[in-house]
Every structure is written in C-alpha cells, then in structure tokens.
Amino acid sequence: MPHAHSSKNLKGRCFLCRKEFPKTGMPTHLKNCKHSPSPDKKSKKETIFRLSIESSAIPLYWLYAEIPGKAKLSLLDEFLREIWLECCGHLSEFKIHGVRYCSTPAEEEERSGKEKSMDYTLDALLSEGDRASYLYDYGTPTELTIHVLDVFQGCSSKKVHLIAQNNTPEIRCIECGKKAELVCSDCLWDDKGWLCETCSCSHKCGPDHLLPIVNSPRVGQCRYTGELK
Ligand SMILES: [Zn+2]
Ligand SMILES: [Zn+2]
Ligand SMILES: [Zn+2]
Ligand SMILES: [Zn+2]
C-alpha cells in the first residue's frame, strides 16, 4: 500500500462554513458548526445519519456525509462510487453486523441468506455509534470504514450531502521530489509509482500504466481516473 503520502497535511474542510480543521477536530466541529442549515419550522423533519467514512488502508482519505435514515444502502453505494471509487463498474458490498449487503448478490447466496441486496434502509440496520465496512471491487479492493457519528432530526432530503472532506494529500515524485501528478498503477504496489510530469515521460513501464493523481483512496488502482464514464 502507498506510503508516499506526506502525513503533514491531515487537515480537511467543512463545506458548511468553508473553514479548515484537523481530522481529529472535525466531528466536534460538525456538531457545532453554526452554518449547518437549521430546519425551518414549516419544512418536514426526518431522521438524518451523519457518517464518517475513511479509507481502511490510507486513513488520510476521509469524508463526512449526511444521509436520510430512510435512504437505502444502494444510495450510499452510488455516492461512494461517484465521489471516490467508480472505475469499471465493479461489484461492491457493505458488511454490517457480520452480514454482507452486495451490489449484485448471487441468487443462490441470497436464497441461503449468506448475501443480501442493498435494498435495505440505513435506519433498519444501523444506530448511533455503529461501525460498518465497505468494499469496492473484489479484484483490486478499496476498503472503507464507516462510523455512524450522529443520528438527529434534520431537513428532509432525498440525497447524500458531503459536508466535509480531507484536503488533497501532498505526494512527491520519487525521482526528483517535485509535486507528483501521475502514478504508475504497476509500481504503486512497491510505493514507487509517484511521478511528476517530467519524470513520467521516462518511466520504465511506459505511458499505458500512468493514471492521474486524484483525491481518492482508489488513486492509482485499476483504471481509476476520478472521472465518471
Ligand atoms: Zn463548519
Ligand atoms: Zn476498475
Ligand atoms: Zn520528477
Ligand atoms: Zn511503473
């Protein structure tokens, strides 16, 4: 797993007030952020889950999101793919209290109860303080840890709201030390794939393995470019 990431830049931004905070201070800040939309009296309130989600392998990648308790796991799956993961439509799964909720459960496994679909709502499975895990792509897996930080009454919404995220980590070119822009998906595994534009031209593996460096725990893996196809 990549360790070229400088651990100096651990901060991230609250998107409600646009201020920066260290990762450890973010949960408390989000609880008290004055800029969080206060539900006006007329609009309907509903149960909202505030989640912290981070990469299990590189916890420098983290985000906070709010999602209605009545939303299905499939909506959270969609959100995670969009913001962090989607490269070629791989399979994914949540693991909650030891049960697997899969994007495409195998018919037989579903019948025997070994796998379930993502057609379950968050409030049916999770409560405040619970932890769950998530995996995208069984071949080249990106694993995430999910923590239910808070369950509260908030404005009704049908979407997942991204409320905070880590700043893009600084990664240096392994050849010259300048800011890395590209990563070789082959050399990534030895933590030797991080390259600046100039050094990438003479990289031994050739241009086919080079991917852009993006702010995601899936950086450099499979064909991930950060662009939705
Ligand atoms: Zn804030
Ligand atoms: Zn892929
Ligand atoms: Zn370089
Ligand atoms: Zn290479």
The count of domains in the chain is 2
Residue 73 within a domain: yes
The tokens for 51 are 């989640």
The tokens for 126 are 């999770």
Residues 117 and 203 placed together within one structural domain of the fold? no
Give the pLDDT score at 228.
73
CA of 53 to the centre of ligand 3 (A): 32
CA of 184 to the centre of ligand 3 (A): 13
Residue 217 within a domain: no
Among the bound ligands, the one closest to the CA of 200: 3
The tokens for 106 are 């195998």
Q: Which residues surround ligand 3, an ion (CB under 5 A)?
A: 173, 175-176, 178, 196, 199
Q: What is the DSSP letter of 59?
A: T
Residue 128 amino acid letter:
E
Residues 100 and 204 placed together within one structural domain of the fold? no
Render pLDDT for 78-127 as a digit per residue (tens, 0 to 9).
999 999 999 999 999 999 999 999 999 999 988 988 999 999 999 999 99
Among the bound ligands, the one closest to the CA of 184: 4
Residues 133 and 201 placed together within one structural domain of the fold? no
Residues 121 and 160 placed together within one structural domain of the fold? yes
Render pLDDT for 13-43 as a digit per residue (tens, 0 to 9).
999 999 999 999 999 999 999 776 665 666 7
Residue 220 within a domain: no
Give the pLDDT score at 42.
67
Contacts 24+ apart (CB under 8 A), 193-199: 193/2, 193/220, 194/2, 194/4, 199/173, 199/175
List the domain range (segments joined by +) for residue 199.
182-212
Residue 195 within a domain: yes
Among the bound ligands, the one closest to the CA of 137: 2
Of 155 and 144, more confident: 144
Residues 68 and 149 placed together within one structural domain of the fold? yes
Q: What is the pTM of this model?
A: 0.92
Backbone angles phi, psi at 92, to 5 degrees: -145, 165
